[in-house]
Structure 1
Amino acid sequence: MLHRGIKFIYTAVLAFSAVVSFLFVRGLDEDWVLDHSAVVWVLDSDDSTSGSQVAGDLASFAADHKISVAREVPDLKDPDGRRHLYLASGIPDSDAASWLDEGYPAFGRDYRTEVHPLAEVGQRDPRGFYYVFGPPEAADALVAEFARLGLQASVQHPLSLAELAPYYADGTLALALGVVALAAVTMTGASVLLNAKTYGVLRLQGRSFAEILLRDLRQLAAFGASAAGAVAAGVLALLGLYNGLAWIGLFASVTAVIAGLLVLLMLATHAAVLALTFKTDVLPALKGELPARAASVSAYLVRVPALLLALSIATSVVAAGQDILSRQESRDVYAKVGETSAIRLNGSLGEDDTKVMEERVGRWLRQSDAAGKLIVAGRRELRDIAPRSGLPQGEILIVNETFLAQQPFVDPAGRRYTPAPQDGKGPDAHAVRVLVPESLGRHASVIAAEIPGTLSPAQPERIRPDQVQTLTAKSGQRVFGYSSGDQAHTAARNIKEDRSLVSDPVLVVVPNGSRFLTDNAYTSFATQGGVVFPDPSHIQAGIEANKLQDEVIAIRPVGQNAALQMRDALNDFRLHVFNLAVAVAVLVITGIGVCIVYSRKNAQAIFVKHISGWRFAASHRSVLAVEGVLAVLLAGWVPFDVWQQNQELKEYTALGIPAPSEPAQITALDLGLTAGLVAFEAGAVLLALMVFHRRIVKEGATEG
């Protein structure tokens, strides 16, 4: 009979494959319209063809080539929860054509796709994303058709393995898959080893390795069929309630691929460990003895990476937990700003058109700023404004006077800084005020000197030194930045964290609508979520009045965006916790496996040492010594990693290049995590060893 551990891990792998497939397909459905063969991205236009003319031509093109073509447009008021698909189909009975009448079959519940006839797209700018539903070569023909219409386009295949692999390779789902694969190998190997006595009996009956392996495979096939049926029935019932079995074919295919890869890995492990049991003679095998050296080496080949992986995942769990706590802390602040909204700009523009957009949108934003309708909260890294000056890590907020009216910021005496008079008569009316925390006082002159270049990189001379007024702010203040700061900082720091509440920032206060900020700066801040409107109706009115429908494609309430990021952060945290639980399970299994191999090989010697009065530690010094070395290596891993990171930073300094980050430090949290994992893995081994020791002593005493 198969060991129950093998039955458990095969069932768990099938269930896990379904869960990963669900998360994967749901993510794809939110990012892209499913079932397409290619995406054509129209980047530029010579303006020789209008949007309605392009729509009419595409309808004819779809009919001539017997394909379906659809234009994706985000919803203006709910871009994170809804998109519009304008579709033309040359195949009336195709799945894509049925969406016009029956609606798009969304896989998840959090994102809606509304389908309209392509003719309803109207005079919208033709640049953007177009889906092709048909043969892949039709995408090249569509690019040629766009070129004939004066549009520059390129073909992408976002659902292909070549484009999906790099996107998901470093993600949490890929890590979960790797951790479960490690657990599957460990559990399979341990279960085969625990079945050593059964295999010894079969060998005594004259069975060969191939015959025993085929016997196991037949039993696995029978059990696997019933387990797969049970899992499939449960999954179908849940998906039927969740989405009416939408995209069940795609879901089943992804599940089969994931499960197939894991099952093949487990079968290979099964065969390898079974071959390992054949290295023991038949009579010792009947007693459950194992090839100690090979089995122990195999266990530690899994155990050592699992320890380092568990430490890395534990760090990620803590970081994700801290991120959630910071997002919860800022949630009340987002609630207070109500419907305050940012804008999303069109990214499907060529270089020349982007410059035109920056001028048009920037001019509108400047006018709105002068009228007091918006809040500017642009972000910069403090060290980036003067990389070679030794400025510490920190953040600059480039804000307008309206920001000061909404967010309290005080001087060292506790007096609040207020907006400068808008009539131009006050002493600060035409000055850029730089509010520097006391803690950065010794850097104030350097910061002030860099402000002209920070506000106007192309023309710093437009801001005279006497137009920059440096003032002191109280240290320890936290200021709401109206966004999480991820768009401004994630690429530079290679991290994902909530920075809605900024600690001890340098505030650069620019008069509303001032020429100190260029049109390009307004647009740049807007792309980062750094320009927000307390009343979103002003956005809608500005778009219509300035005819910016092609440039401003979405209105995003900052609170809604924060809620979506919180949801994603919670999902990541749950996956990290799952990964940690699996990694810890691998540690426990490998630790127990080491003890099983050791105790079965040395059972007689252990009993003799016990009745001779040997202490527990002396009786098992070999395995305890190896585990002690492993614990020391694990305890030293974090200090070594920190030292290595700091050595890399010193290389930047030696070359005269500013280091990309502050020197890493060992925190109490790092020490606590390391100590906890060391204690857990050592404790698990010690406990297992004590259990097996007592069993050996008890069995020996009974036989005596």
Structure 2
Amino acid sequence: MLHRGIKFVYAAVFAFSALVAFLFVRGLDEDYVLGHSAVVWVLDSDDSASGSDVARAVTAFAAEHNVAVAREVPDLRNPDGLRHLYLAAGAPDSVAAPWLKEGYPAFGRDLRTEVHPLDQIGQRDPRGYYYVFGPSAASDALVAEFKDLGLQASIHHPLSFEELTPFYADSILVLSFAVVALAAITMTGASVLLNAKAYGVLRLQGRSFPDILFRDLRQLARFAMIAAAAVAGGALVVLGLYNGLAWLGLFASTAAGVAGLLVLLILAAHAAMLALTFRTDVLRALKGELPARAASASAYLVRVPALLLAFGIATSTVLAAQDVLSRQDSRELYAKVGDTAAIRLNGSLSQEDTKTLETRVGQWLRQSDAAGELIVAGRRELQDLARGAGLPQGELLIVNETFLDRQPYLDPMGRRFAPAAKDGKSPDARSVRLIVPASLSRHAPAIAAEVPGILSPGHRERIKGDQVETLQAANGQQVFGYNSGEQVHTAARNTKEDRSLVHDPVLLVVPNGSAYLTDNAYTSFATQGGVVFPDPSDIQKGIDTKKLQTYVIAIRPVGQNAALQMRDSVNDLRMQLFNLGIAVTVLIITGIGVCIVYSRKNAQAIFVKHISGWRFVANHRSVLAVEGILALLLVAWVPFQVWQQNQELEQYTALGIPAPSQPAQITALDLGLTCGLVALEAGAVLLALAVFHRRIVKEGATEG
């Protein structure tokens, strides 16, 4: 009979494969319109063809080539919850043709897709993404068609293995697969070893290694078919209720692929461990003995990487939990700002058109700033301002006077910094105020020296030193930044975290609409979510009056965006907890496996030493010594990584190049997680060893 642990592994693998397939396909559905063969990205236009001209040409192309072509456009008011698909269904038998009547079959529920005929797209700028549903050769022909219309386009295959691999290489789903694969291999190996006596009996009956292996596989095949059918039936019921079995083929192929890879790993582990049991002679195998060195080595080959993996996952889990808690703290602040919204700019533009965007959108934002219609809350990392100046970790907020009017910031006397009085002066005649917390006052001169470069990169002479007024703020303040800071990429912060509440920031207050901020600065801050409008109707009015439909493609309420990020963070935390639980299970199983191999090999010696008066630690000093070395390895792991990172930074210094980040340090989080994992892995081994020790002593006394 097979050990029940192997059967559990197969059932768990099939269930996990269905879960991964669900999450994977749902993510794809949110990022792309499914069912396409290629995506044609139109990046540039010579403006010789209008949006309606391109729509008519694409409609004719779809009919001529018997394919369907669709243009994806985010909803202006709800870009994260609704997208529009303008479809030319040239092929009545294509996967997309029924969508005009039946609607798009969304796999998930978080993003809704509305399908319209392509001729309803109007005079929208033709640059953007076009999905091709049909033969791959049609995408080449569509690029040629666009070229004749004066458009520059390129072909992409986002659903191909080549383009999906780099996108998902560092995703949590890949980490989950690795952890589950490690657990499946561990449990399979342990189950085979625990069944050593049964295999000894079969060998005594004259069964060879292939005979026993094929016997196991035949029994597993029957159970695997039942388990797979049960999981498939459950998945059909769940998907039928969830999305009406949308994209069932893609889901099934993904689940089958994941399950197939895991089953291959399980079969390899099964065969390897079975071969290991054959290294013990039949009589010893009948007693359940195992080749101790090989079995222990196999266990530690899994145990060591599992321990390091568990440490990394535990760190990510704690950071994810902290991120969720910080987002919960800022939820009330997002609720208070109501309909305040940011803008999303068009990313499908050529370099020349991007410069036009910076000019036209930047000028509109400057005029809106002068009229008091928007809030500027740009971000910079202090350590990125002046490399080598020894600035501490913290944030610089580049804000306007309206920001000070909305968000209180106090001086050391408890008085609020007020926006500049309306005295009739030109914004360019007023000073830029640099407000530095008292705790950073000694760094104020270094920060002030960087202000011209911060506001006008490449044109530092535009701002003179006497135009920067340095003031001091009270310590211990928190300021709402109107966004989470996730879109601000810095060398000093390489982890995902919510920074909606900024602790003790340095404020650089720029007069509303002044020339201190360039057009490029306005658009850069807008790209990062650092330009927001308390009244979204001002955005719509500006788009309409300034004819900015080509450049401003969406209005994003900051509260809605924060809610979506909160949802993603909670999902990420759940997956991290799942991975951590599996990794800890692997640690416990491998620890117990080591104790099983050791106790079966040395049962007689353990009993003799016990009745001779040996203490527990002395009796088991060999296995405890190895576990002690393993604990020391984990304790030394973080200091080694910190030393290695700092050595790399010193190489920059030796070459006279500013280091890309500050030296790494060992944190209290590192110490706490290290101590916790050491206690867990050592405690599991000690407990298992105590149980087996007691059993050996009891059985020995009974036989005596």
- When the two structures are superposed, what TM-score results if normalisation uses the length of structure 1? 0.98
Partners in 2 of 1:69 and 1:172 — Cα distance? 33
Q: How far 1:427 sits from its partner (Å)?
A: 12
Instruction: Read off the aligned partner of 2:52 and give its amino acid letter.
Output: S
Q: 1:520-578 deviations in whole A, cap 9, x for unaligned?
A: 11111111101000011111111111111111100001111111111111111111111
Instruction: Read off the aligned partner of 1:240 and give its amino acid letter.
Output: G
Partners in 2 of 1:612 and 1:501 — Cα distance? 65
Worse-matched range after superposition: 331-340 or 48-57: 331-340
Q: Secondary structure at the match of 2:693?
A: helix
Q: Would the aligned equivalents of 2:492 and 2:661 in 1 still touch at CA under 8 Å?
A: no
Partners in 2 of 1:9 and 1:681 — Cα distance? 22
CA-based RMSD: 1.4
Partners in 2 of 1:619 and 1:502 — Cα distance? 57
Instruction: Read off the aligned partner of 1:463 and give its amino acid letter.
Output: I
Q: Secondary structure at the match of 2:314?
A: helix
Partners in 2 of 1:686 and 1:453 — Cα distance? 60
Q: Would the aligned equivalents of 2:456 and 2:518 in 1 still touch at CA under 8 Å?
A: yes
Instruction: Read off the aligned partner of 1:634 and give its amino acid letter.
Output: L
Provide the residue aligned with 2:675 in structure 1.
675
Unaligned runs of 5+ in 1: none
Q: How far 1:428 sits from its partner (Å)?
A: 10
Provide the residue aligned with 1:537 in structure 2.
537
Partners in 1 of 2:320 and 2:229 — Cα distance? 36
Q: Would the aligned equivalents of 2:427 and 2:511 in 1 still touch at CA under 8 Å?
A: no
Provide the residue aligned with 2:94 in structure 1.
94
Q: Would the aligned equivalents of 1:635 and 1:674 in 2 still touch at CA under 8 Å?
A: yes
Q: Would the aligned equivalents of 2:343 and 2:552 in 1 still touch at CA under 8 Å?
A: yes
Provide the residue aligned with 2:239 in structure 1.
239
Q: How far 1:426 sits from its partner (Å)?
A: 10
Q: Would the aligned equivalents of 1:358 and 1:519 in 2 still touch at CA under 8 Å?
A: yes
Q: 1:448-485 deviations in whole A, cap 9, x for unaligned?
A: 22212211113222222222111111222211111111
Provide the residue aligned with 2:474 in structure 1.
474
Provide the residue aligned with 2:252 in structure 1.
252
Provide the residue aligned with 1:13 in structure 2.
13
Counterparts in 2 of 1:667 and 1:389: CA distance versus 1, 3 Å: closer
Q: Would the aligned equivalents of 1:382 and 1:392 in 2 still touch at CA under 8 Å?
A: yes
Q: Would the aligned equivalents of 1:420 and 1:428 in 2 still touch at CA under 8 Å?
A: no
1:606 aligns with 2:583: no
Provide the residue aligned with 2:323 in structure 1.
323
Q: How does 1:424-435 map to 2 (within 5 A)?
A: 424-425=424-425, 430-435=430-435
1:462 aligns with 2:462: yes
Partners in 1 of 2:647 and 2:154 — Cα distance? 43
Partners in 2 of 1:357 and 1:68 — Cα distance? 32
Partners in 2 of 1:60 and 1:274 — Cα distance? 64
Q: Would the aligned equivalents of 1:185 and 1:265 in 2 still touch at CA under 8 Å?
A: yes
Q: How far 1:391 sits from its partner (Å)?
A: 2.4
Partners in 2 of 1:670 and 1:381 — Cα distance? 24
Provide the residue aligned with 1:130 in structure 2.
130
Instruction: Read off the aligned partner of 1:688 and give its amino acid letter.
Output: A
1:368 aligns with 2:351: no
Aligned residues: 704
Q: Secondary structure at the match of 2:550?
A: coil
Q: Would the aligned equivalents of 2:427 and 2:512 in 1 still touch at CA under 8 Å?
A: no
Q: How far 1:442 sits from its partner (Å)?
A: 1.8
Partners in 1 of 2:506 and 2:331 — Cα distance? 23
Q: 1:663-700 deviations in whole A, cap 9, x for unaligned?
A: 22222222121111111111111111111111111222
Provide the residue aligned with 1:170 in structure 2.
170
Partners in 1 of 2:220 and 2:482 — Cα distance? 56
Worse-matched range after superposition: 340-349 or 664-673: 664-673
Partners in 1 of 2:303 and 2:529 — Cα distance? 45
Q: 1:625-679 deviations in whole A, cap 9, x for unaligned?
A: 1111111111221222222222222333333333232322222222121111111
Instruction: Read off the aligned partner of 1:187 and give its amino acid letter.
Output: M
Counterparts in 2 of 1:388 and 1:625: CA distance versus 1, 3 Å: closer
Provide the residue aligned with 1:213 in structure 2.
213
Provide the residue aligned with 2:193 in structure 1.
193
Q: 1:187-206 deviations in whole A, cap 9, x for unaligned?
A: 00000000101100000000
Q: How does 1:226-625 map to 2 (within 5 A)?
A: 226-425=226-425, 430-489=430-489, 493-625=493-625
Q: How far 1:517 sits from its partner (Å)?
A: 1.1
Instruction: Read off the aligned partner of 1:669 and give its amino acid letter.
Output: L
- When the two structures are superposed, what TM-score results if normalisation uses the length of structure 2? 0.98
Q: Secondary structure at the match of 1:487?
A: coil
Q: How far 1:126 sits from its partner (Å)?
A: 0.1
Instruction: Read off the aligned partner of 1:157 and give its amino acid letter.
Output: H
Instruction: Read off the aligned partner of 2:484 and give its amino acid letter.
Output: S
Provide the residue aligned with 1:638 in structure 2.
638
Provide the residue aligned with 1:117 in structure 2.
117
1:702 aligns with 2:702: yes
Instruction: Read off the aligned partner of 2:583 and give its amino acid letter.
Output: A
Partners in 2 of 1:466 and 1:694 — Cα distance? 81
Partners in 2 of 1:356 and 1:155 — Cα distance? 25
Q: Would the aligned equivalents of 2:433 and 2:510 in 1 still touch at CA under 8 Å?
A: yes
Q: How far 1:267 sits from its partner (Å)?
A: 0.3
Instruction: Read off the aligned partner of 1:469 and give its amino acid letter.
Output: E
Instruction: Read off the aligned partner of 1:315 and give its amino acid letter.
Output: T
Q: Would the aligned equivalents of 2:384 and 2:491 in 1 still touch at CA under 8 Å?
A: no
Give identity over the alignment, percent.
76
Q: Would the aligned equivalents of 1:421 and 1:429 in 2 still touch at CA under 8 Å?
A: no
Q: How far 1:425 sits from its partner (Å)?
A: 5.0
Worse-matched range after superposition: 185-194 or 484-493: 484-493
Partners in 2 of 1:355 and 1:633 — Cα distance? 54
Q: Secondary structure at the match of 1:207?
A: coil
Worse-matched range after superposition: 290-299 or 666-675: 666-675
Q: Would the aligned equivalents of 2:399 and 2:510 in 1 still touch at CA under 8 Å?
A: yes
Partners in 2 of 1:647 and 1:321 — Cα distance? 31
Q: Would the aligned equivalents of 1:436 and 1:444 in 2 still touch at CA under 8 Å?
A: yes
Q: Would the aligned equivalents of 2:376 and 2:403 in 1 still touch at CA under 8 Å?
A: yes
Partners in 1 of 2:125 and 2:189 — Cα distance? 60
